Structure 1
Amino acid sequence: MPNAFHRIWIALSWLLTMQATAQTIPTTDQILDPKIHTVLLYPLIGSTPDSPGKTLNPPIVLTSEDAMNGQQLQLEFDDLTGSYRMFRAKFIHCNADWQKSALNDIEFTYEYNDYPISEYQTSLNTKVLYYHYRFTVPRVKLPGNYILVVFDERNPRKILFTRRFMTYANKVNVTAGIRFSTSPQRQFQDQQIDMSIDYRNYQVVSPQDDFKVVIRQNYRDDKVITGLKPNNVRVFEQQIDYNLFDLSNTIPGGNEFRFFDTRTVLSRGNYVDRVQYQPDRTIAFISPDQPRIQGAYIQADDFNGLFVIDHRESGNPGVSADYIETVFTLNINELPDGEPYVNGAFNFWQLTDANRMTYDPAIRSYRASIWLKQGVYNYDYVVKRNSPRPTADELLIEGSYSGTENDYEVLVYHRPPAARADQLIAYKRLGVNKRK
């Protein structure tokens, strides 16, 4: 009975918390507790679930009407408090715009929407002590957008972090292709996505208005194309086309990402300038970087902004990879109207104090020090301008080229007749300028 009472107490506490803070829980990827690091959410696919490359797949899985079928997601994160804490998880269902939907929990979950996170390990032979948690995310009923909310069991009002994920059902067929922009002024900088939707055998009242299409570059929620309207509706073939001429389906190609390798600190990895060893930490100085806005595009292989956690010596990166104080240096003069940031999936592509760079007049460069778990990381530099309005300029230092290799996703949402929320009814993943 104590377990039953404990479960009721958690449920009531969570209900009161949701009523009090429903408007304050973010529906973006955010870490709200500064002691939580390296939040990974990825699909459980393939025969080698412990491979370091598992995190290169986005948290998007195929849903199923059967609770025992369909793909699942795996959550991993570290708690750097150095002591064990009890955590729990819950889902929030969202519409296509990532605003909370009107659905009740029972409409999209197979069981009670409150899950304990009980699997954990302590770090091994690391200078920075941490607890490593793992949680297999339960399946959900409906295809769509979800927020995974992790909170402190002892204090349900304390949200540790939120992570977006999606489940989809292939109810319509998407055909898409990518090329350089048809605009002569932008053909060397932008990439254009043309697509069509075949909705045969799917009920839709007004296809030109009812489908909500989102195109996302490199799995980034800050690099999306929305609000597209079809240029052609073929009623008899039940197909709509998005071959647009107003450039609304184009996006800057960007540049290949920079990278560095800290899988080992016993020697210097790729693009690591030097390593310092201190009793309580290890410091890795990344090779100083230069702006890439000038000159021709240079082909390079990358993870399209993502990263993998790995540890060469042990092969067990979850608990043996240490946290390294990673120092970035950008060799540019002080900017009069902006601040540069180190940008990447490791920070959810967000510009915060954690990845902001400061100017050091002694070396006439910008620097940032970020605690990162050992692995291989992609990153670039973004300049945040505060006037006349806050904007993030990723092209000022990195440049943009239509020949850049990128990944794209096409997501098609629809709200079925009599339904109360948007569903993700098609998902297509494709790339451009892929290397053979």
Structure 2
Amino acid sequence: MLKKYFFLPLIFFSFLGKAQNIKTVQLRPINSNSFSAIVPLGSILELSFDDLDADNKEYQYRVQHMTYDWKPSNLTSNQYINGFAENYINDVTNSFNTLQDYTHYSVQIPNENTIITKSGNYLISVLNYNNEVVFTRRCVFYEDLTMVGVAAFRSRFIKTINEQQTVQFSINYPELQINNPAQEIKVVLFQNNNWNTAITNIQPQFFRPQQLIYNYTQTTNFWGGNEFLNFDNKTIRNTNLNIAKTEREEVYHNYLYTNEPRANKPYSYNPDINGEFIVRTLDANDKTTEADYATIHFSLDSHKPYLNKEVYVYGAFNNFELSEENKMTYNKKDKIYKAAVSLKQGFYNYCFATVDRDRNVNLNEVDGSFYETENEYTVIVYYHPFGEIYDRVVGVGNGFFNQNR
């Protein structure tokens, strides 16, 4: 039972071979400080990314409607889009006055050529000139037809009371006619905007008039994890928050202070942004094309290597994926794991993940798991009544763990 939530399946290794020069992919609401690509139907998301080849390629985007479990839905594109499901990305600009040349691409979705008409899960793919998928990102457009209350508590399960958090939630649906909630309603629950943590197939425990209640004490448990580590290189030429040394070569190299494993240390509160990142620079005016790239040198102190396991730097900077670039190597002489990752200037959260021979990911072995950790939880409500051919999203709820509960 516990293993289900301790290990995450390795669904991260996707498209990274073709996307090795693609960096700083962001899919976020315009004019908002939100990191989440879960927005009301009619809202506008901006997809942006940099290509370090800096050669002005012709990229296209593709918008595809998906089922609640991220399989292609039965809808044809003209049933969920007015216009074109595929189109070229035309907003293209070159970097200016940076050591690392790159081309910046951006597109708003929906737009005048691609108007999304149905709620649901959507997969946004970026295609190259050979019509190959370079990378994908998930987003959700929802109808605000339900009220979703979400609360997180310290785990009631004695074996993990100091390490886990329990999420409970309810769905109120005064505007919907739901005849068979167990069949027509599906929910997805996940932590910190990380789809890899999602729990599905959760049935309501209690049924009340126009209300579903999910008050589980173990099924909806999450490992609390630890507060994310961070660094800030908005001034790329100098040392800054958690940056010990800076060198200029072909590009700038920022060396972070060596981290120590935190699994066996007491919990210590440290404000974070739940694994996310923010592009910013004090060295120029336009962060999109004038922020430079630096090689960030991560290091993790370890008296001996983790037996039969690989260690990765982990965070939203690459969509919580695991690739060769963020894989760490062990230096036997220094007794330190090291990794060098090219990142655009800004403020970044990260942690460490281990992967065993069976390709199970453990997010707690290095950093530990504590019930006190501040986390955000999201519930998405899908509605598929009898006779309908797609999964509508009819509500979204968010809740934060408060250790004072």
Fold match (TM-score > 0.5): yes
Q: In the alignment, does 2:138 pair up with 1:173?
A: no
Kindly state the Cα deviation for residue 90 of structure 1 after the two structures are TM-superposed. 1.4
Which of the numbers 115, 118, 130 marks the counterpart of 1:142?
118
Counterpart in the other structure of 2:6 = none
Distance 1:326 1:344 in 2: 14
2: CA distance between counterparts of 1:37 and 1:208?
Answer: 42
How far apart, CA to CA, are the structure 1 residues paired with 2:216 and 2:15?
A: 34
What is aligned with 1:379? 350
Which of these residues, 337, 360, 363, is aligned with residue 331 of structure 2?
360
> What corresponds to 2:320 in structure 1?
349
Give 2:134's aligned residue.
Answer: 160
Structure 1 residue 81: Cα displacement: 1.1
Partner residue of 1:391 out of 353, 360, 372? 360
Match of 1:220 in 2: 194
Q: Does residue 263 in structure 1 map to residue 234 in structure 2?
A: yes
The alignment-based identity, stated in percent, is 29
Alignment of 1:25-64 (within 5 A): 30-31=15-16, 32-46=18-32, 54=33, 56-63=34-41
Q: Counterparts of 1:295-314 in structure 2 under 5 Å?
A: 295-314=265-284
The one of the two structures with greater contact order (alpha-carbon pairs below 8 A, sep at least 6) is 2
SS of alignment partner, residue 79 of structure 2: helix
Aligned pairs for 1:405-416 (under 5 A) are 405-416=374-385
Distance 1:197 1:33 in 2: 39
Kindly provide the amino acid, as one letter, of the partner of residue 261 in structure 1: D
| Whole-Å separation in 2 of the counterparts to 1:82 and 1:200 | 52
CA–CA distance in structure 1, aligned partners of residues 14 and 77 of structure 2? 21
Specify the code of the residue in structure 2 equivalent to 1:345: A
RMSD, aligned α-carbons: 1.8
| CA distance in structure 2 between the partners assigned to 1:149 and 1:299 by the alignment | 37
Q: What's the CA shift string for 1:50-77, capped at 9, x where partnerless?
A: xxxx4x42111101xxxxxx21001111
Mapped to 2, the partners of 1:113 and 1:381 lie a distance apart of 37
Aligned length: 388
Deviation at 1:426, TM superposition (A): 0.7
> Residue 285 of structure 1: which of 239, 247, 255 is its match?
255
Contact 1:255 1:399 in 2 (8 A): yes
How far residue 362 of structure 1 moved from its aligned partner, in angstroms, is 2.1
CA contact (8 A) 1:28 1:162 kept: no
**1:61–1:434 distance in 2 versus 1, CA, 3 Å:** farther
| Structure having the higher Rg | 1
Residues 29, 377 of structure 1: alpha-carbon distance in 2 compared, 3 angstrom cutoff = farther
Letter of the aligned partner of 1:86 in structure 2?
Answer: E
CA distances 1:29-56 after superposition (whole Å, capped 9, x unpaired): 755322211111100135xxxxxxx4x4
- The answer for the alignment partner of 1:22 in structure 2 is none
The residue type paired with residue 270 of structure 2 is: A
Alignment check: 8 A CA contact 1:29 1:164 kept: no
Q: How far apart are the structure 2 equivalents of 1:78 and 1:310?
A: 15
> Is 1:80 aligned with 2:58?
no
Task: Indicate conservation of the 8 Å contact 1:27/1:147, yes or no.
Answer: no
Q: How far apart are residue 413 of structure 1 and its match?
A: 0.8
| Structure 1 residue 116 displacement after superposition | 1.8
| CA deviation profile, 1:296-332 (whole Å, cap 9, x unmatched) | 1100101100000111121321111111111111110
Mapped partners of 2:79, 2:90: distance in 1? 26
- Greater than 2 Å deviation, 4+ residue runs: 26-33
From the superposition, tell whether residues 62 and 119 of structure 1 become closer, same or farther in structure 2 (CA, over 3 Å).
Answer: same
- Residues 216 and 180 (structure 1), Cα distance of their counterparts in 2 relative to 1, 3 Å cut: same
1:318 counterpart SS class: helix
Instruction: Give the C-alpha shift of residue 149 in structure 1.
Output: 1.3
Aligned residues of 2:283 and 2:291 also touching (Cα < 8 A): no
Q: State the Cα deviation string for residues 85-116 of structure 1 (Å, max 9, x = none).
A: 11111111110100111110001101122222
Q: Is the 8 A contact 1:27 1:99 kept in 2?
A: no
CA shift for structure 1 position 433 = 2.5
What residue number does 2:210 align with? 238
1:407 deviation in Å? 1.0
Separation in 2, partners of 1:45, 1:434: 31
Q: Give SS of 1:305's match.
A: coil
Q: Determine if contact 2:12/2:321 at 8 Å carries over to the other structure.
A: no
2:282 is paired with a residue whose SS is: coil
CA distance in 2, matches of 1:289, 1:147: 36
Aligned position for 2:8: none
8 Å CA contact 1:27–1:162 kept in 2: the answer is no
The answer to whether residue 293 in structure 2 is matched with residue 323 in structure 1 is yes
1:417 Cα offset (Å): 2.9
Q: Does 1:275 align with 2:246?
A: yes
Q: Which amino acid aligns with 1:327?
A: H
Cα distance change, pair 434–373 in 1 and its aligned pair in 2 (3 A): farther
**Given the two structures, how large is their TM-score scaled by the length of structure 1?**
0.86
* C-alpha contact (below 8 Å) 2:13/2:321 kept by paired residues: no
Q: Distance in 2 between matches of 1:29 and 1:424?
A: 26
1:266 deviates by 2.3
Aligned partner of 2:5 in structure 1 is none
Amino acid at match of 1:303: I
Find the aligned partners of 2:130 and 2:184 in 1 and give their Cα distance: 42
Aligned partner of 1:334 among 276, 284, 305:
305
